[in-house]
Amino acid sequence: MWILYALLTAVLLATSDALTKRALSSRNEYFVAWARLLFSLPVLAVSLMCIEIPHLNTTFWTATLIALPFEIVAIILYTKALKVSPISLTMPFLALTPLFIVLVSYFMLGEKVSVSGGIGIFLIASGSYTLNIHKARHSLLEPVKAVFREKGSMMMIGVALIFSVTSSLGKLAITNSSPVFFGSFYFILLTIVFTPIALSKNKGSLKITRKDIGPLAAIGITYSIMILCHMLAMSMVNVAYMISVKRTSLLFSILYGHVLFKEEKIAEKAVGGIMMFVGFLLIVLSK
């Protein structure tokens, strides 16, 4: 069952991201990010009412409250990245999260990288190069320069770095509560904290028109079910295995980019995405 839940997580995340990108064509990123959270609340609230509330100790609250500001920055960067750049050039960079974890642990704790982890790092770097390999006809460094010129790619690299922190804090909070409780409670709390920020960026008004309800509800529902599937899968299997399957979302995102947004150079992006995913897999499973 965990494989089913993890695959559902990947498909639902990619679907929610694609729907979010479409909504961003007519509204600003702060409104859409807020609406994505808001419309996820009904499903999350119902799930919260259907479970027993665990005892919440100091460790839970510390991890949750430290994670919140990081999560808010990640949400803003994530949504802006979807707005300003092709989805097929942004989502693959989420595969950098375990790479950042490996690098931080190496420099701060002296932890060595295994052979498979080293191969994984090489594949992620090669995959990110391949995403823009058509530019290599100008010079070998041009694909690397293209990553730095693409604002959305740089923003998603920032998101991957932040996720390397929040994933550890989230795991700590789950360990000191329960998967479904944390998933529901955390995102409800996140919505409450993010609302004043969204208001300030929308001139004090977060008006939802009748024609907005359908598209925004689709974004929120897919996002909330993704959260619950994520937490259920996490509770059933080793986290490394679950996250490895979840990151297939980057491949679904590349497919959505081609089908829904007519993004070009899809073959090289697919090759780059697969290389980054395999690299991600090797790093995660080597730990």
Reported as a single tens digit per residue, the pLDDT across 4-29 is: 888 899 899 999 999 999 999 888 89
| Domain regions of the chain by residue span | 2-286
pLDDT digits (tens, 9 = 90+) for 23-57: 998 888 999 999 999 999 999 999 888 888 999 99
pLDDT attached to residue 193: 95
Q: Which residue has the higher pLDDT, 39 or 287?
A: 39
Confidence label for 148 from pLDDT (cuts 50, 70 and 90)? confident
The rounded percent of the chain whose pLDDT value lies above 70 is 91
- Average pLDDT of 91-119? 72
- What is the structure's pLDDT at 23? 92
Confidence label for 91 from pLDDT (cuts 50, 70 and 90): confident
Q: What is the pTM of this model?
A: 0.85
Residue among 8, 67, 94, 76 at smallest CA distance from 186: 67
List C-alpha distances in Å: 254 to 62, 87, 262. Answer: 37, 7, 11
Q: What percent of the chain has pLDDT over 90?
A: 38
Which pLDDT value is given to residue 217? 94
Q: What is the pLDDT of residues 110-146, one digit of tens each?
A: 666 677 877 877 888 787 778 777 666 666 667 667 7
Retrieve residue 282's tokens.
């090797």
Summary mean pLDDT of the chain: 85
149-154 long-range contacts, CB within 8 A, separation 24+? 150/85, 150/89, 151/80, 151/81, 151/84, 151/85, 152/80, 152/81, 152/82, 152/83, 152/84, 152/85, 152/86, 152/89, 152/90, 153/81, 153/85, 153/89, 153/90, 153/93
Give me the pLDDT at residue 3, please. 82
Name the DSSP letter for residue 272: H
C-beta separation of 75 from 33 below 8 A? yes
Please give the pLDDT value at position 280: 79
DSSP H helical ranges for the chain: 2-23, 29-38, 41-49, 58-84, 97-109, 115-130, 142-149, 151-175, 179-200, 210-236, 239-246, 249-261, 266-286
**What pLDDT was estimated at residue 74?**
96
Give 254 or 236, the one with higher predicted confidence.
Answer: 254
pLDDT at 113: 66
Q: What is the pLDDT of residue 80?
A: 95
Range in 58-62, 180-184, 266-270 the model is least confident about: 266-270
Q: Please give the pLDDT value at position 228.
A: 87
CB 68 within 8 A of CB 187: no
Report the amino acid identity of residue 266.
Answer: I
d(CA 263, CA 265): 7
Q: What is the mean pLDDT of residues 186-192?
A: 94
| pLDDT above 60: residue 152 | yes
pLDDT given for residue 56 in this prediction: 93
Residue 181 is predicted with a pLDDT of 92
